[in-house]
Amino acid sequence: MSRIAYVNGRYVPHADAAVHVEDRGYQFADGVYEVCAIVDGLLIDETLHLDRLDRSLGELRIASPMGRSALKVVMREVVRRNRIGNGLVYMQVTRGVARRDHPFPKGIKPALVVTARAIAPDKIEANNRNGIAVATVPDIRWGRCDIKSVSLLPNVLAKQAAREAGAYEAWLVDKDGFVTEGSSTNAWIVDADGNLVTRDVTNNILRGVTRTSLFTVAKAAGIPIVERRFTVDEAKRAREAFISSATGYATPVVRIDDTAIGNGQPGSMAERLRDLYLNAARAGARP
């Protein structure tokens, strides 16, 4: 069965899905996006993702393309038509189509694209079972990383640098030597006292939805969390390290650059958090 995409009011074959050449997302990266995980047919953390989508749109002064109830219908229909049991649904909203000019054009409609694709659970499980490596790279992004913008070129360059270094993910490091976040994930460590440590949220990182949900389940389980900066050196000396994301949940980090973390094996905290998160996410996503 061919994949199906939703593009500006129409469900079309994925191979034929297209936007206008003067869509501002294409020409200016003038748009935002969200990615929502699908686990056993359930949309995970849907409300939090849609809340963040609304915030990103508001920060860029882009009108919502439709009401939330209607968008939920579209998301589910795209998932249904693509027969996705485990995977992700991707939503992208741009300011719309207009003659190329930098100022906001008047009288145009925002453009909406929704797609879905499967992700094999075995791939996620392999990362959790074996752990991943991360490479540190300078953080060269713009000053509003709290907006989930489609302007991701620095993230792409960081991810590519990591892959060329034999690592799965890049950790971005600011000019003072502190880790901000991953190229497409949030960064965590477990310190010597057993505290979960992750960067505090300002404009320099994205408030990850999975990050937010991990806070909730960790607090409910009595696991202490500290929001503060940490250096690369501190991370390399940490008891554990892991990354969080919508499709990876809590994935253990076993190596940073050339340094093994802990005993070089996935840590128990990441596994515990992953189980707590998935149990809570499945329960919250059920109709």
Token pair, residue 16, equals 């034929």
Other beta carbons within 10 angstroms of residue 140's beta carbon come to: 12
Token pair, residue 154, equals 């620095």
Q: Which of 72, 148, 159, 236 is catalytic?
A: 148
Task: Compute CA 132 distance to the chain's CA centroid, rounded to the nearest angstrom.
Answer: 17
Q: What residues form DSSP beta bridges with 250?
A: 244
Task: Please provide residue 237's backbone torsions phi and psi, each rounded to the nearest 5 degrees.
Answer: -95, 0
Alpha carbon of 161 to those of 134, 141, 185, 235, 275: distances in Å? 10, 15, 15, 20, 31
Residues 6+ apart with CB under 8 A from 173: 136, 137, 138, 139, 179, 180, 232
175 has catalytic annotation:
no
Is the CB of residue 237 less than 8 Å from the CB of residue 261?
no
- Let me know if 264 is exposed, middle or buried by CB neighbors in 10 A (0-12, 13-18, 19+): exposed
Alpha carbon of 162 to those of 113, 136, 177, 255, 257: distances in Å? 29, 8, 18, 12, 9
Report the SS3 class of residue 134: strand
Distance, in Å, from the CA atom of 86 to the CA atom of 80, rounded to the nearest integer, reads: 12
**Which residues have a catalytic role annotated?**
148
